[in-house]
Amino acid sequence: MRNDWIAKVIRTMTSPLPVSDSRVGECRRCGECCKLPTKCAFLRYDEQGLASCAIHKVRPLNCRKYPRTDREHITKEGCGYGWN
């Protein structure tokens, strides 16, 4: 999948859809998804280099559910999510 503003719009438009049942794993707080396609203004890093969101409780659905499907998973390196 592409990493540009069109891809972000597509992820946003499809974010109400459910997360794939075959997704496994968990967030490793790498922060790479928060840079799609540019770095989010709310991305923060702690002393250990782990990413966090300054608006975590009210973050958009596309942030909450990324990656919803294997097709939209473009931050594979370092990410804790995968598919069966």
What global pTM score does this model have?
A: 0.86
Residue-wise pLDDT tens digits, 7-58 = 999 999 999 999 999 999 999 999 999 999 999 999 999 999 999 999 999 9
How far apart CA 11 and CA 65 sit, in angstroms, is 10
DSSP secondary structure of 11-74: HHHHTTSPPPTTEEE------GGGGSSS--TTEEE-TTS-EEETTGGG--HHHHH-SSSTTT--
Residues of the domain holding 55? 5-83
How many structural domains compose the chain? 1
Structure tokens at 61: 């659905």
How far apart CA 69 and CA 25 sit, in angstroms, is 13
pLDDT at 1 over 80: no
